[in-house]
Structure 1
Amino acid sequence: MNAISIVPFRKDNKPAPDKTGARSVTLIVPVYNEEGSIQAFLDTVTPVLEGIRSQVRFEILFVNDGSRDATERLIMSAAAERGDIGLLNLSRNFGKEAALFAGLCHAEGAAVIPLDVDLQDPPEVISEMIARWLAGAKVVNARRARRDGDSRFKNLTANAFYRVFNAMAEQPIPRDVGDFRLFDREVVSAICQLGERSRFNKALFSWVGFEAEEVTFKRPARAAGETCWSYWKLWKLALDGIFASSTVPLRIWTYIGMVLALASLAYSAFMFARVLFFGVDVPGYASTLILILVFGGMNMFALGIIGEYVGRIYTEVRQRPVYIIRSHHRCSDKED
């Protein structure tokens, strides 16, 4: 069963009408072992939301991605004190991409804004995003003008990823734009129809289209806690993004294979003519060894790329849900 159909808020996928006439916005906040960040996040985001409640009505939907610390308890405690906090508990850790997808599929707002709990997505930018949306924008991307909170190595690798990805992808993604952006309900409905299991949300956000506007911000350092994104996890996410969004790596090896086949044919013809006209040479050990190692290594590398695609095909054909919900606590000030 596709995860999109699991306990949806409303079958028509339309936001609930607000009695005050204001339009509703859902903030989606995926969390995993973030007990040290919850209160700081709420203390920072609440004054920002209070400043624009005359324009829109907000809800904060936390998506607990299988946390094993006090994250769930702290969110439930905050939800008991205020009516604009909801909590979606997943049955285990499915990863941020799946958690974000779960939040999108269960958000009720007329607009949706995913953001990180570590405050590296500054809530102060939300007011400008809302203004663009109220003026008619369907998508408002928040682009990082500076990444002061990241190391030089991370900045270099991030820039390299964007260049490589956009060179190969069928649909490029905006540079230095993460998950922090605003989506109109129409865009959210389109995203929730994309049920692939190997998810790279940034590419899916671009694939659905819709004209986008942009705001910029300076990315600060993490406010509390420690990131769960090691370089190994970022590397795997980069591979997921490339292999899920492009067949160029396969096509490249088709061309490389053609060139190598032609080169081998030419070399074979040369050796045949050389033996025919000049006799048999004593074969060189070094040249033979080099050719075997080079072609063997290239074959293994090509097979590895094919294996990446085959593995993703295997994941898709099993048709397991992207996520499983353990419990769902809605905002208390909502009407069903």
Structure 2
Amino acid sequence: MTVSIIIPCHNEAGNLATLYARVRAVMDPSGEPWEMICVNDGSSDDTLLQLIALHRQDPRIRVIDLSRNFGKEAALTAGLDAARGEAAIPLDADLQDPPELIPDLLAHWREGFDVVNAVRLSRDGESWIKRASAHLFYRIINRLSDVEIPPDTGDFRLLSRPVLDTLRTLPERRRFMKGLFAWVGFRSTNIYYHRAPRHTGKTTWNYWRLWNFAVEGITSFSQVPLQLAAYLGVLVSLLAFLYAIWLVARTLVYGNPVKGYPSIMVTLLFLGGVQLMALGVIGEYLGRIYEESKQRPVYLIRQVWESGQTPEGDDSK
């Protein structure tokens, strides 16, 4: 097996037939042995039934059905763990990332690169708020993190077998895959493309989920928020000390009239807000430690359909 194409699927029934046709149109003429690993991440529509039908039509399609919706990062991890190819290519089922770029990814891999990133030059079909926030997120996380995450790059990329084997050794449960792809290193290069709108359907990534995803990425690869909380505490303490000196000096000069209720309330509310914010930052990291300490599997597999084997179940990692 040369190429494993990894496709996490969550309610993508309307895209699967077109996706398979486009992947096959690209891969069959290449002459490369390939497989398409489709991970059903707890879909509530006909996604699983369509995947099983495609598997019966073409045994090169392997179907992994997770026991529930674990999220895209877990579904992607399941697909990468199951990949048998010398190279793996994660691909979104919504066809925003064109399968027609796969030959370019493979060409750079043949040149000796272990990671070939597909960098977005544009993001058609998305609001300017989403485009601007995505642009800002990559710049912020690269300022905060010691690991350089390629800007404007999603999961669409090529990963060689050494990279896949390294990723499988990483034990963490809360996974930010874009960061992990960058963290492992290896020789990498980029290709560039214009991202298309979704083929059909509506994305489930609303702004609240995107915000949580950004927090996940920052807390996974940076301790700067904890440091900022400490620096903010030092700054507030210094300001409070200077304010205390000013109050003592004013009292010595002008006496001690019964005043100051507004200033006291403002000071208390300000200090209380700073303390709660610092506790919130600490809580984010503490929550990650708590999740990791339980050592629950990243995903659970209910059933697998693949060539030459009967369906399997109850696998986990």
Q: TM-score, normalised by structure 2?
A: 0.94
Check if 1:130 corresponds to 2:78. no
- In 1, the alpha carbon distance for the partners of 2:286 and 2:20 equals 43
Letter in structure 2 aligned against 1:320: R
Q: Which residue, out of 99, 124, 135, partners 2:75?
A: 99
Letter in structure 2 aligned against 1:80: R
Q: Which residue, out of 17, 21, 45, partners 2:23?
A: 45
- In 2, the alpha carbon distance for the partners of 1:221 and 1:99 equals 22
What secondary structure does 2:20 align onto? helix
The answer for the alignment partner of 1:225 in structure 2 is 201
The runs of 5 or more residues in structure 2 that have no matched partner are 310-317
- In 2, the alpha carbon distance for the partners of 1:149 and 1:121 equals 13
Give the number of aligned pairs.
309
The answer for the alignment partner of 1:257 in structure 2 is 233
The answer for the alignment partner of 2:118 in structure 1 is 142
What secondary structure does 2:4 align onto? strand
Check if 1:121 corresponds to 2:97. yes
The answer for the alignment partner of 2:222 in structure 1 is 246
The answer for the alignment partner of 2:314 in structure 1 is none
- In 2, the alpha carbon distance for the partners of 1:129 and 1:149 equals 24
The runs of 5 or more residues in structure 1 that have no matched partner are 1-17, 19-23
How far the C-alpha of 1:332 sits from its partner, in A, is: 4.6
- In 2, the alpha carbon distance for the partners of 1:218 and 1:126 equals 14
Q: Which residue, out of 245, 248, 260, partners 1:269?
A: 245
The answer for the alignment partner of 2:313 in structure 1 is none
Asked if the contact 1:171–1:206 (Cα under 8 Å) also holds between the matched residues in 2, the reply is yes
The answer for the alignment partner of 1:36 in structure 2 is 14
Letter in structure 1 aligned against 2:35: E
How far the C-alpha of 1:277 sits from its partner, in A, is: 4.0
How far the C-alpha of 1:71 sits from its partner, in A, is: 1.0
Q: Which residue, out of 158, 162, 166, partners 1:190?
A: 166
Asked if the contact 2:233–2:274 (Cα under 8 Å) also holds between the matched residues in 1, the reply is no
Q: Which residue, out of 53, 58, 65, partners 1:82?
A: 58
Higher relative contact order (CA 8 A, sep 6+): 1
- In 1, the alpha carbon distance for the partners of 2:201 and 2:15 equals 6
Instruction: List structure 1 segments (4+ residues) > 4 angstroms apart after TM superposition.
Output: none
- Compute the RMSD of aligned alpha carbons: 1.4
The answer for the alignment partner of 2:4 in structure 1 is 26
Distance 1:249-1:92 versus aligned 2 partners, 3 A rule: same
- In 2, the alpha carbon distance for the partners of 1:226 and 1:76 equals 23
- In 2, the alpha carbon distance for the partners of 1:245 and 1:252 equals 15
The answer for the alignment partner of 1:69 in structure 2 is 45
Q: TM-score, normalised by structure 1?
A: 0.89
Asked if the contact 2:55–2:306 (Cα under 8 Å) also holds between the matched residues in 1, the reply is no
